Amino acid sequence: MMNRKASYYKSVVIGGSAGSFSIVSKILAGIKSDFRYPIIVCLHRLKHIRSGLLEGINLKSNLPVLEPFDKDNMEAGKVYLAPSNYHLFVEFDSTFSLSTEEVHNHSRPSIDYTFSSASTSFREKVIGIILTGANKDGATGMHEIHKKKGYTIVQDPLTCDVDTMPKAALQLFTPDQILSPDGIIEFLNNL
């Protein structure tokens, strides 16, 4: 476990694809309601369906979940879900920016883009978590967080519906921890 002072981190970023909806729901249902960091969630999702995912995640979450508008400020204790058909970026001033640039790894939103921008803006003060998923998007972004000394957690491939995404990350670097969904919840609640 880390030995960091209180409020060291600026955000937690979570990425996932196939099978990750239930894991994210479980994490947000298990997290304490006084969690003090913003959580940014980037999931691969159907581009033409605007609603449903947000409402579904919000149902069980202990923290309010919202889809940010461009230039919205990030606030502690809130969960920000990347909107469908936009890439989501983190700026230096803790605001969000959106983009309709080309899909990356067949995805918009792209997990790589969100993770990389968070690591550029917050450097070592980011916790990156990659979950179950069916393509390699997110692996490069996690590697960026790792290279900038952020804290990295990969979901244990044995607990994944589809382990392509975590395994792609594990091929690039050795994360700080490999955890089950319950382990991720425990880790976050002990921050």
Partner 1 sequence: MAVAPTLNDIRVIAPILEDKLKLDIYNFALSFLRRRFAYVFKQLNIKNVSYFIDEIKKGNLVSDFLYHFNVSDTEMFRDPSFWRTLRNKLLPLFNGSNINIWLPEVVSIHELFSLLVILREVDLLESVNIYCNSPSKNIIKEIQDGKVPLKTIEVSKQNFKRLELHSHFEDYFLEEDNTITINKEFLKNVIFINNSYFNEGPGNEIDITLFRNRMIYYNSKLQTKAENEIFKYIKKGGFLALGIRENISKTNSMLLETHDKNEQIFKV
Q: Which residues are catalytic?
A: 17, 44, 137
Q: State yes or no: residue 70 binds partner 1 (CB under 8 A).
A: yes
As measured in angstroms, the least distance from the Cβ of 21 to partner 1 is 21
Contact call for residue 100 and partner 1 (CB under 8 A): yes
CA 36 to CA 9: how far, in whole Å? 9
Match 């202990």 to its residue by tokens: 62
- Minimum separation from the CB atom of position 56 to partner 1 (A): 19
Q: Give the integer Cα–Cα distance in Å for 191 and 6.
A: 8
Q: Which of 33, 55, 92, 106 binds partner 1 (CB under 8 A)?
A: 92
Cα separation, 123 vs 115, in Å, equals: 11
Among 99, 135, 177, 180, the residue binding partner 1 under the rule CB under 8 A is 99
69 is a site residue for partner 1 (CB under 8 A):
yes
Query: CA–CA separation, 23 vs 135, rounded Å?
Result: 17
Among the listed ranges 7-15, 52-60, 94-102, 169-177, the one in contact with partner 1 (CB under 8 A) is 94-102
Closest approach of partner 1 to the CB of residue 180, in Å: 33
Among 20, 25, 105, 121, binds partner 1 (CB under 8 A): 121
In angstroms, the Cα distances linking 46 to 18, 51, 109, 110 are: 12, 10, 10, 12
Q: Is 128 in the site for partner 1 (CB under 8 A)?
A: no
- Other Cβ atoms less than 10 A from the Cβ of 166: the count is 27
Q: What is the Cα–Cα distance from 40 to 78, expressed in whole angstroms?
A: 8
Query: Rule CB under 8 A: is residue 182 a binding residue for partner 1?
Result: no
Tell me: does residue 98 bind partner 1 (CB under 8 A).
Answer: yes
Sequential DSSP letters for 23-72: HHHHHHHHS-TT--S-EEEEE---TT--SSHHHHHHHH-SS-EEPPPTTP
179 binds partner 1 (CB under 8 A): no
Footprint of partner 1 on this chain (CB under 8 A)?
Answer: 48, 50, 67-71, 83, 85-86, 89-92, 97-103, 117, 120-121
